[in-house]
A and B are shown apart, each in its own frame.
Chain A
């Protein structure tokens, strides 16, 4: 019985939907929609009745916005950060709410035929998508700000570094996506395994650790995105 429970911890099982020729991971989409719904609901609810002196929800959302703005400002710089607050904020909030929803909502109550519900960020596709968006964003930022002169950074400080500089464009999204994916998946797996071994009390510290890691990962992802954008836009 116990052995069977342990062996039922599945990795890599997905709840597939077929859309046209594509197979998509349905549980990730469902969770993403839920996260998006939470974020939109929060945005709408907290900004419905704006006051000069913020109360309750408005105060909270303003605090969050200030946090994101400061983060973006420190990474991109005073002059340009304003346009990038929405992007960095979206990244941070989506990842943060995803991670925490995976850690706090008892998804196991709902049984899917295959796979299980969890944080959308525990799927490499989500994190890779986010990382590629970051890549697009910093390319756009660099080209928009500096035109074709942007490509001169590939041969700086010396043309010998050209291959490494090109490689960097691939390693950046790779490291971003794998870091986030690995952390969240590992956290969920550790908690999952521990639950099947010792169902009570013992997983609690790990769950807190997971919450902490989740928050940190969201922060890291947003900070790095902003840093890459800032780096692409600043002249050498």
Chain B
């Protein structure tokens, strides 16, 4: 019956069943009621848990972010400190380098002075030695010549004259 309705008769024959038992309204109400009562509780607790978990995750992420920020600040501080220290060390090393240089220069100057002195002394000594040697040589040569002269020209006459001269000299010495 009514196998093919035409396209234009969609509304035809549609009615409302008001039989409460036949439409199963009471059972459905009970079912929906229980479902809302029990399922609603379960669902809401489920959703609350989920939301709390998301909140916790967000909170965790936030905390980690803050922690990381703190760490960055700390690290920056450390960096500043290290920079200051490095500057200090650099200045110190510069000062010590300058000090070392002057020290070294002074020492070298002193060394040079000392060496100069030593040189002067050595030269003087050598001079003296040379002079002494020359004197010795000269006096020996004179003596040698004198001895030679004596050997060649010494006779009793000369000897007597010398002795007389010496006696006279000694006599003069005694007079004075």
Residue numbers of A with Cβ under 8 A of B are 5, 15-19, 23, 26, 52-56, 59-60, 62-63, 103-106, 108-114, 191, 195-196, 199-201, 203-204, 207-208, 211
- CB-CB under 8 A from B15, the residues of chain A are 110-111
Q: Is B35 an interface residue (CB 8 A)?
A: yes
Q: Is B154 an interface residue (CB 8 A)?
A: no
Nearest CB of B to A92, in Å? 17
Flag if A113 contacts B27 (CB, 8 Å). Answer: no
20 other A-B residue contacts (CB within 8 Å) besides A54-B54, A110-B15: A15-B5, A18-B5, A23-B4, A52-B58, A59-B47, A60-B43, A60-B47, A63-B47, A106-B28, A108-B17, A108-B23, A110-B14, A111-B13, A114-B2, A195-B22, A196-B22, A200-B21, A200-B27, A207-B27, A207-B28
Q: Is B24 an interface residue (CB 8 A)?
A: yes
- CB-CB under 8 A from B5, the residues of chain A are 15-18, 26, 113
Complex: how many Å from CA A56 to CA B12? 42
Complex: how many Å from CA A78 to CA B151? 138
Known: A113-B13, A208-B31. A59 touches B26 (CB 8 A): no
Complex: how many Å from CA A111 to CA B18? 10
B1-45 CB contact bits vs A (8 Å, 1 = yes)? 111111100101111111001111111101110110000000100
Complex: how many Å from CA A210 to CA B55? 37
Nearest CB of A to B138, in Å? 119
Flag if B50 contacts A59 (CB, 8 Å). Answer: yes
CB-nearest residue of chain B to A8: B22
Flag if B6 contacts A109 (CB, 8 Å). Answer: no
Complex: how many Å from CA A203 to CA B55? 43
Q: Is B51 an interface residue (CB 8 A)?
A: yes
Most chain A CB within 10 A, of B17, B28, B35, is at: B28
Nearest CB of B to A45, in Å? 16
CB-nearest residue of chain B to A203: B27
Complex: how many Å from CA A196 to CA B21? 9
- CB-CB under 8 A from A5, the residues of chain B are 22
Q: Is B86 an interface residue (CB 8 A)?
A: no
